[in-house]
Structure 1
Amino acid sequence: MGKATLLENAYYKWLKEELIFSDIEDGYVSISSPFVDTNFDNINLYAKFLNEDNIEVSDFGYTIFNLEEAGVHLDKRSKVAWRIYNTALADFGITREGDSLLIRTSLDNFAIAKNRLIQAIMRINDISYLSKGNVKEAFNDLIESFLIKEKVLYTPNVEIPNENGASSHFDFSIPSRTGVERLIKTSARLNDPNYAKVFNYDVKATAPSRNAKFIYVLNNVTHKTTINQNIVGTALNGLKPNLAEVAGFSEIEKDNTLLVNS
């Protein structure tokens, strides 16, 4: 069995085991994901057919509610939080109606829409973490400034369709002279298991069809904490050593051999 097939099989196994679909009232389907919110509860989505061919997927307002319960209010007075929130909506194509975050899509694009909404929710949940640390700049802004300073060519916010009909989102794509692209996913929350799972999931989904090295960059600059090796293990689970790598941003700043056009 080839490596691409092994990765593809692992990806489908993950999907089958970790996502739970249940019919609930008023025609909605509850989708329980393996990712947790700011209260360490599973992130749940709710899907409903609008007609035979179109679906609405929503968080039922839980993301905004949880932030407000934690004392985080999304308004223009907090410039960094407000920009992270609006950027997440724009990057992942999410609409806010009332307090609900939602996306409307065709049945064929349901898998893509579901992934987009989950990743938008996770990005918005980061605001709670940033607020606790009184952070003045988003982590991806730090990385982008670093790439510009180092004169590294890059493309931000890359979405790559996968063979199963879903898609994977990477924060940066760095082209290489050797033809092996570098796809970067970041985590502002250093030891967050959510992002580690998503990185692993996206590598397995993307690697069979993309000639790339995958790099997971962790924020050990804003909050100087040791990287938990369990997080590293989750991110790299089932991946070949030369396919993916985990690195703290402070180490990259000192000796950058990963985020380069080589």
Structure 2
Amino acid sequence: MMFDINELNNTYTKWNKDNIHIVDQGDFVEITTPFVDNHHDYLQVVLYYNDNGQLVLSDDGYTLNELTLYEIDYKRSLKRKEFLNQTLKSFGVTILDSDLTITFDKVKDFPRKLLNLLQCILRLSDMLLTSRSTVTSIFYEEVGIFFDDNNILKIPDVGITGTSGNENKFDYIIPASRVKKEKVIKTINKPNGDNFKYPLLSFLDIKENRAKSEFVVIANDYVNEISEKFETSFTNHGISVLRWTERKTWIDNLNPTLAI
């Protein structure tokens, strides 16, 4: 069967006309697209002329403000910063203040530039999913940044040999002080299912060698609820489980310089 190219072109043109709504707001044009964000709202961008007479498409700060609202640190997390810069470069997008923008000279370039900006917005919105994904290295970075912000001295990526003779990796150690014990910490991004097994075995393997230490799990419950099985598997062995959403309530207890 042969394709009717004219029919395909007409269908695509009609779809664009029916689904992309452009409204003149005076100083700018508001464009509502059929693409949806993480709240299932239609993505909107604006088009205006800058002082140099160039056309500017902008998300009006929506994307980066949304990341900030959900406490997704794209400035200091190396992985997120790299992802941000690469995405901007791929679609020819720049940041102006907190706006994602594309600047161009000719109206005929508008459709292509609009598509580039929308693709960029959608790809960067994927960072909102990192709070619920299994990319533990990113959650590990978030925890480290949080410690830094609260002046918590930490030693990252520590290997401790257990009674098995094997080296067990832990995300952070907070050194002991005169008022508090050493904290040995693992971060777990998805605190459900069987994700407790390997971390628990690591703690049990070093329990004898680190008898004076406290063992701590920091669990990312931002989207995934902590299952009862996950939590009791640790607490039954005297290992604390700290909820990431409650971090402002427990951070002082980790500070070795503050008395309980």
| TM-score where L is the length of structure 2 | 0.48
Larger Rg: 2
Q: Which has the higher contact order (CA 8 A, sep 6+)?
A: 1
For normalisation by structure 1, the TM-score amounts to 0.48
